[in-house]
Amino acid sequence: MKMPYPFDIGRYVIAPNRELLGLLIKKKDNIVELCSLFTSITSKYNIKVVNIIITYDKDSELKLLVFLDVTESTIPIERIILEIKKELNILEVIKSKGILIDTTSFPLMADNSRIILFRDAAYIQMFKGIRERFGSAGEAVLYYIGFESGKGFAKIHKEIAEKIGLINPLRIYEEISRKFFQWAGFGIIEIIKLQPNYSEIIIHDCFECEIAKNQLDRPYSNFVRGILAGAFTELFGTEFKCKEENCIAKGDKACKFIIYQ
């Protein structure tokens, strides 16, 4: 199975002792012209582009979030801003030294849904802490949090499926739910068997089980098991359960899950 490439979402830069400038720029133009215009300005004044994110808003206008290292610029920051304003509409400006964090973008959205970000340091501490404090009861809590989350995810997936003419729950899972699981960073799903009342899947790089990789003699997942069971429950309209047979926590190459009624 070919593994995808990592994706760094960016939106912050750590550069000790460097002068940094962040700009949120908006322009109704094509992307080639926008990038060409911007790079001509930065190269002219010896400005280094550190991070750049380009998106379209609902009005089909381009938004450019760009982080610049202006330490060695041939002109001062205020002049840089004026030069860019001659050609582009600057919505927001962030000035900082050593570290620059995007404070112009809020809330974070995926289509019309708000999303939040969790670093591994946070979710590792959360999962471990719940297990350590509450033992098997904590594991049950994690499962049911995952279960309700999976139902919520699947409701969104059904709405998307309706827009593109998908009705069959198996197709919805294969074409939408499976791919959004990877999109969210949870892991990469490989379908072994997909049936209305019994399915087998393998998850590569399961984010939950990586916490205890090669450390246990039994499967580790509770939260992800819950997500899978909840998603199938919502898609099929009848309750499903999920068990983990293979797990990287006990030395297996990948995590294998059975979803069943």
Contact predicate 147/231, CB 8 Å: no
Same domain, 93 and 211: no
CB neighbours of residue 20 within 10 Å: 24
Same domain, 164 and 87: no
Assign residue 38 the CATH number of its domain. Answer: 3.30.70.260
**Cα–Cα distance for residue pair 90/25, rounded to 1 Å:** 4
Same domain, 127 and 91: no
Q: Could you tell me if residue 190 is inside a domain? A: yes
Same domain, 53 and 145: no
Q: Could you tell me if residue 17 is inside a domain? A: yes
Over residues 135-188, the pLDDT tens digits come to: 999 999 999 999 999 999 999 999 999 999 999 999 999 999 999 999 999 999
Same domain, 94 and 125: no
> Last residue of a domain, which of 79, 105, 131?
105
Domain that holds residue 34: 12-105
Q: Could you tell me if residue 250 is inside a domain? A: yes
Q: Could you tell me if residue 178 is inside a domain? A: yes
> Last residue of a domain, which of 83, 105, 127?
105
Q: Give the pLDDT band (50/70/90) at residue 126.
A: very high
Query: What's the confidence (pLDDT) of residue 29?
Result: 67
Over residues 40-52, the pLDDT tens digits come to: 889 999 999 999 9
Same domain, 173 and 233: yes
Q: Could you tell me if residue 224 is inside a domain? A: yes
Domain count, the chain: 2
| DSSP sequence for 53-122 | EEEE-TTS-EEEEEEEE-TT-SS-HHHHHHHHHTTSEEEEEEEEEEEEE--S--S-EETTEE-----HHH
**Cα–Cα distance for residue pair 25/33, rounded to 1 Å:** 14
pTM of the model: 0.91
Q: Could you tell me if residue 1 is inside a domain? A: no
Same domain, 70 and 167: no
Same domain, 177 and 216: yes
Q: Is the pLDDT of residue 58 over 80?
A: no
> Last residue of a domain, which of 86, 105, 124?
105
Assign residue 152 the CATH number of its domain. Answer: 3.30.1380.20
Same domain, 126 and 185: yes
